[in-house]
């Protein structure tokens, strides 16, 4: 390649071809070929048939209908008996020619238009109330225009807990016009939202947009933030509880949102004002959130939320009670009156008991087992006969008779 460039330069400078050949110790024909070629010389091996050549048409035919068919299956279908490594190398060369192309557009995010939502699973088990540990999801929201991040650990992937994004929107102070999700089962599948999601979106006057399958680029902002959390937030940290995790994460997000993002060349906090101004205001009435249930309280005066049981005032046994729970609290009401309130536990299968409820149940049980004696049905019915005489006006007649008798 160096000789090719040198030959062309010397000839261009006016050096005769014969002198160029003599100075470079090469043949004159080599000089002529270098001048006739418009590109550097390149060694190209002549194409010769290989052991794969006879099988290539069959492999192409199978790849045309099933581009992702494994190489081992292809080898079996076409009857290949040679080296599987050599077969794989040739299949790897042919497969891109038959795989459908899925181009990804570069998206432009307008201020206030969208926020991308996702679940991130930190690779560390979090201690719970019963001394067990669990891998818990973290609800993440990334404002698409400003790249401002919000996140909070939640107990489950159920719809009731996923709608806890209301708390994150409350921290933001505004509502993006679109909340973009993938096909998370707690948000919806197919053409239908999960129960409660439509009402949530209607109260906020926003749109919950669920992406079609195989469209990761449309939610790439929040996906990359999940990786950012694992490499920048998680290393070297320990957590005593979910509350401790949320405290540390909130403090770290204040720092992360003040760092320059390479793609927008500015800090999310600097772009947040424009994003915030174009968003929708928070609704005047908070949406119905959390776990909601109406049950008749049984003799076992407990109600179940998720997988744990919570005690209720036994005075309302046999009556309907309304159970509500959010990410942090469980409340039970009967006809609007609060009859139980507990901190929500995140461990599975726990029993949470209020000592006051146990004491009240003991009193009610003793009253049931030792009832008061039945009252005498004749008690209070015995009267002086003179009262009947006075009631019927016989007292004066008796007095007259007695007087007449004395006169006589």
What is residue 374's predicted lDDT score, i.e. its pLDDT?
66
> Cα(107)–Cα(211) distance, rounded to whole angstroms?
14
Q: Is residue 386 part of a domain?
A: no
- CA 326 to CA 158: how far, in whole Å? 12
Which string of b and e fits 257-274 if b means at least 16 CB within 10 Å?
Answer: beeebeeeeebbeebbee
Total length of the chain: 408
120 in helix, strand or coil?
A: strand
List the structure tokens of 278. Answer: 């174009």
The last residue of one of the domains, among 227, 256, 281, is: 281
- Asked if the structure places residue 267 within a domain, the reply is yes
Hey, what are 390's tokens?
Answer: 């006075």
Tell how strand 308-311 and strand 351-352 pair up: parallel
Cross-strand pairs, 192: 189
pLDDT at position 407 is 42
Q: What is the pLDDT of residue 219?
A: 86
> What confidence score (pLDDT) does residue 101 get?
81
2-12 vs 17-24: helix crossing angle, rounded to 10 = 140
- In this prediction, residue 149 carries a pLDDT of 96
CA-based nearest residue to 83, from 60, 46, 61, 50: 50
Measured distance CA(380)–CA(362) in Å, rounded: 34
- For the chain, the straight-line distance linking the first and the last C-alpha, in angstroms and rounded, comes to 170
Q: Is residue 142 domain-shared with residue 72, that is, in the same domain?
A: no
Do 324 and 277 sit in the same domain of this protein?
Answer: no
- Both 140 and 248 in one domain: the answer is yes
* pLDDT score for 378: 60
Same domain (yes/no): 216, 305: no
Which of 281, 307, 333 finishes a domain? Answer: 281
Please state whether 33 falls in left (phi above 0), alpha (psi between -120 and 50) or beta: alpha
Residue closest to 122 by CA, chosen among 242, 257, 255: 242
Cβ–Cβ < 8 Å for 299, 311: no
Same domain, 185 and 230: yes
Phi/psi for 149 (5° steps) reads: -110, 140
- Alpha helices in 215-340, H assignment, sequence order: 220-228, 242-256, 268-278
| Coil, strand or helix at 130 | coil
Strand pairing report for 188-189 and 302-305: unpaired
* Domain-embedded: residue 28: yes
Write out the DSSP string of 151-218.
EEE-S-SSHHHHTTHHHHHHHHTEE-SEEEE-S-TTTEETTEEPTTHHHHHHHHT-EEEEPPSS-GGG
Per-residue pLDDT of the chain (408 residues; tens, 9 = 90+): 567 888 888 888 888 888 888 888 888 888 888 888 878 777 777 778 889 999 999 999 999 999 999 999 999 999 999 999 999 999 999 999 998 887 777 788 999 999 999 999 999 999 999 889 999 999 999 999 999 999 999 999 999 999 989 999 999 999 999 999 988 889 998 788 999 999 999 999 999 999 887 777 788 899 999 999 999 999 999 999 999 999 999 999 999 999 999 989 999 999 999 999 999 999 998 888 889 999 999 999 999 999 899 999 999 999 999 999 999 999 999 999 999 999 999 999 999 999 999 999 999 998 888 877 766 666 665 666 677 677 777 666 555 555 555 544
In a domain, 389, yes or no: no
Q: Residue 145 falls within a domain, yes or no?
A: yes
Query: What CATH code is carried by the domain that includes residue 187?
Result: 3.30.420.10
Take residue 323 and report the two structure tokens written for it.
């159970």
Whether 360 is covered by a domain: the verdict is yes
Within-domain flag for 238: yes
For residue 61, the enclosing domain spans 56-98
Q: What's residue 405's pLDDT?
A: 53
Last residue of a domain, one of 227, 252, 281: 281
User: How far, in Å, CA of 24 to CA of 260, rounded?
Assistant: 57
CA distances from 128 to 82, 135, 218, 239, 302 (A): 56, 10, 35, 10, 21
What 3-state DSSP class applies to 145? coil
Domain count of the chain?
4
Task: Tell me: do 10 and 130 sit in the same domain.
Answer: no
Residue 266 shares a structural domain with residue 307: no
Judge whether 7 and 31 are in contact, CB under 8 Å: yes
Judgement on whether residues 270 and 311 belong to the same structural domain of the protein = no
Whether 383 is in a domain gets the answer no
**In this structure, are 324 and 262 located in the same domain?**
no
Same domain membership, residue 89 and residue 63:
yes
Q: Are residues 264 and 322 in the same domain?
A: no
Same domain, 152 and 89: no
| Sign of the torsion formed by the C-alpha atoms of 124, 127, 133 and 138 | negative
Provide the pLDDT for residue 35: 83
């Amino acid at each position: 390649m160096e000789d090719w460039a040198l030959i062309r330069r010397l000839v261009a400078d006016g050096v005769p071809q014969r002198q160029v050949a003599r100075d470079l110790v090469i043949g004159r024909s080599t000089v002529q070929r270098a001048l006739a070629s418009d590109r550097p010389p390149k060694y190209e091996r002549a194409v010769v048939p290989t052991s794969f050549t006879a099988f290539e048409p069959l492999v192409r035919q199978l790849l045309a209908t099933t581009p992702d068919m494994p190489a081992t299956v292809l080898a079996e279908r076409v009857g290949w008996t040679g080296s599987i490594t050599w077969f794989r190398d040739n299949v790897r060369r042919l497969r891109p020619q038959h795989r459908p192309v899925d181009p990804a557009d570069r998206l432009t995010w307008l201020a206030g238009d969208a926020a991308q939502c996702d679940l991130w699973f930190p690779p560390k088990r979090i201690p719970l109330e019963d001394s067990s540990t669990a891998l818990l999801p973290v609800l993440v929201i990334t404002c698409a225009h400003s790249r401002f991040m919000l996140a909070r650990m939640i107990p489950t992937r159920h719809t009731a807990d996923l709608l806890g994004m209301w708390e994150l929107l409350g921290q933001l102070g505004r509502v993006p016009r679109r909340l973009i999700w993938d096909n998370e089962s707690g948000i919806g599948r197919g053409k239908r939202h999960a129960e409660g999601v439509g009402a949530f979106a209607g109260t906020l006057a926003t749109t919950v947009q669920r992406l079609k399958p195989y469209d990761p680029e449309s939610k790439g902002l929040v996906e990359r933030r999940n990786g950012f959390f694992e490499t920048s937030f998680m290393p070297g940290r320990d957590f005593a509880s979910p509350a401790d995790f949320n405290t540390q994460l909130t403090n770290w997000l204040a720092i992360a949102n003040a760092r320059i993002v390479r793609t927008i060349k500015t800090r999310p906090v600097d772009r947040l004002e424009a994003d915030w101004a174009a968003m929708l205001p928070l609704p005047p009435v908070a949406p119905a959130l959390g776990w909601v249930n109406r049950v008749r309280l049984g003799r076992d005066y407990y109600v179940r939320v998720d997988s744990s049981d919570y005690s209720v005032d036994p005075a309302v046994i046999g009556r309907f009670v309304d159970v509500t729970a959010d990410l942090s609290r469980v409340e039970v009401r009967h006809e609007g009156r609060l009859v139980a309130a507990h901190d929500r536990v995140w461990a599975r299968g726990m029993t949470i008991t209020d000592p006051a409820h146990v004491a009240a149940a003991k009193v009610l049980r003793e009253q049931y087992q030792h009832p008061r004696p039945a009252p005498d049905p004749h008690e209070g019915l015995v009267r002086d006969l003179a009262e009947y005489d006075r009631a019927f006006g016989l007292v004066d007649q008796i007095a007259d008779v007695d007087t007449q008798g004395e006169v006589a």
